[in-house]
Amino acid sequence: MEQTKKVKDLETKYTKDSKEYLTVTWEDEKFDNVFSGEHMEMVNRAHEMNLPVRVIKVQEGKYWNITELTIIAEDTSPKPAQELVNDYNKEHNIPRAETKKAMLDPTNIPEVVRARSMALSYAKDKGVAKLQAGVEVSDEDDIKTAKRYMKYIAMGD
């Protein structure tokens, strides 16, 4: 029998001949005893990291014994920027139509910082291109350009 479970609690116990084992209470309130040293380490690690485990059990007599235990690692690959923005918006209940307005809201730090960084980067690129062409550019020009780009990023027109 194969199951995916999450550890709720661990209790160290000892057999009659003083061998250590773990009683694992799963989030579904069921429990298993783990006797294998390797499996005990994995259950401890899964519990510390709050990760689910894949458990394979085989019935032997009246008992179900864990024959295989694997930690299921969470996906750690970075999310695309738009997915991060969407996650943030969902988490903070920002409707999709409100996202553009949110970019101009100084209390909405992630959106403001993202938009500002993008706008300033584009303004810098334009300023460098002008300098290379022999046109004199001031910091104020770059900031005005960045502000225009920020408005465009937020509002579209």
Question: Domain span at residue 92?
Answer: 81-155
Contacts of 48 (CB under 8 A, 6+ apart): none
Confidence band (pLDDT; 50, 70, 90) for 100?
Answer: low
On whether both 59 and 20 belong to a single domain, the answer is yes
One domain for residues 98 and 41:
no
Provide the pLDDT confidence category of residue 106 given band limits of 50, 70 and 90.
Answer: low
pLDDT of residue 12: 92
Q: Taking all residues of the chain, what is their mean pLDDT, rounded to a whole number?
A: 79
Which is more confidently placed, 86 or 130? 130
pLDDT at res. 10: 93
Spell out the SS3 assignment of the chain: CEEEECEEEEEEEECCCCCEEEEEEECCCCEEEECCHHHHHHHHHHHHHCCCEEEEEEEECCEEEEEEEEECCCCCCCCCHHHHHHHHHHHCCCCHHHHHHHHHCCCCHHHHHHHHHHHHHHHHHHHHHHHHCCCCCCHHHHHHHHHHHHHHHHHCC
Task: Based on the fold, state whether residues 146 and 86 are members of the same structural domain.
Answer: yes
Question: 140 and 106, same structural domain?
Answer: yes
Question: Are 125 and 106 in a shared domain?
Answer: yes
Residue type at 80 in one-letter notation: P
Among 14, 47, 71, which residue terminates a domain? 71
Residues 119 and 65 in one domain: no
* Residues 95 and 57 reside in one and the same domain: no
Can you tell me the mean pLDDT for 18-43? 89
Domain match, 85 and 149 both: yes
pLDDT score recorded for residue 137: 82
Final residue in a domain of this structure, among 71, 101, 116: 71
Contacts from 79-84 at CB under 8 Å and sequence distance 24+? 81/114
Note the pLDDT tens digit of each residue in 131-149. Answer: 888 888 888 888 888 888 8
